[in-house]
Amino acid sequence: MSAGLQNSVQIGESFIGEGANAAHINTVLGHRDGPAGTAWATALASPSQGHVPFVAVLRPSLPVKPLTLFVTKAAPASDEHGLLIWGPAQAGVAAGVADALADGVITAEQADTHVVIAAVWVNPSADDADAVYQHNRTATRTALGNGAASLPETSEVLAARDAPSNPFYTPTPTSRG
């Protein structure tokens, strides 16, 4: 494999769902021997208070392929929040990676040569384990697909630049540049 392909990374993003049970996922897919592999190993070896990266599994002792590092964007705010992170959100991420593999977004060869980093937001107010699972599964598969397709299109970014919005903020017409 050429160094260029080995050093390339695919970065994806997806926000699925509404309210407290929505999922926001950022993914990085890259070769184990490139910068993504270095970041993966460094993150795994460098946990911090409340942010302990771990390998996503489909079930105990069955990690998803490519090996996927689950990184929380928010420290667990309570025992219940922690269980939603380590239970349904983690299972959703693992299943979403497996979906991307099954759909050919990730090739069978990449399953053994690449790694995924999934940065995952679980709202401390989340309260529906099944919704957290499904939204994280869909968001992970979507983020990996977006990364593979280099989405969003630059034209879409330029078209939206004067009216950015997200589930937490929409600027008023007077605040827009």
> Is residue 91 assigned to a domain?
yes
> Is residue 50 assigned to a domain?
yes
One of 24, 31, 81, 114 is an active-site residue; which one?
24
CATH number, domain with residue 21? 3.30.230.60
pLDDT single digits (tens) 8-22: 999 999 999 999 999
C-beta atoms surrounding 107 within 10 Å: 13
> Is residue 38 assigned to a domain?
yes
Q: Using 50, 70 and 90 to split pLDDT, how confident is the model at 172?
A: confident
* pTM of the predicted protein model: 0.92
Contacts by residues 2-5 (CB-CB < 8 Å, ≥ 24 positions apart) = 5/31
Q: Using 50, 70 and 90 to split pLDDT, how confident is the model at 170?
A: confident
pLDDT (0 to 100) of residue 171: 86
Of 70-84, 137-151, 158-172, least confident by mean pLDDT is 158-172
> Is residue 165 assigned to a domain?
no
pLDDT (0 to 100) of residue 3: 57
| Phi, psi of 163, rounded to the nearest 5 degrees | -140, 55
C-beta atoms surrounding 33 within 10 Å: 15
> Is residue 119 assigned to a domain?
yes
Say how many domains are in the chain. Answer: 1
> Is residue 176 assigned to a domain?
no
| Phi, psi of 154, rounded to the nearest 5 degrees | -55, -40
> Is residue 159 assigned to a domain?
no
> Is residue 152 assigned to a domain?
no
Tell me whether residue 31 is one of the annotated catalytic residues. Answer: no
pLDDT of 157 > 70? The answer is: yes
Which residues span the domain enclosing 42?
12-147
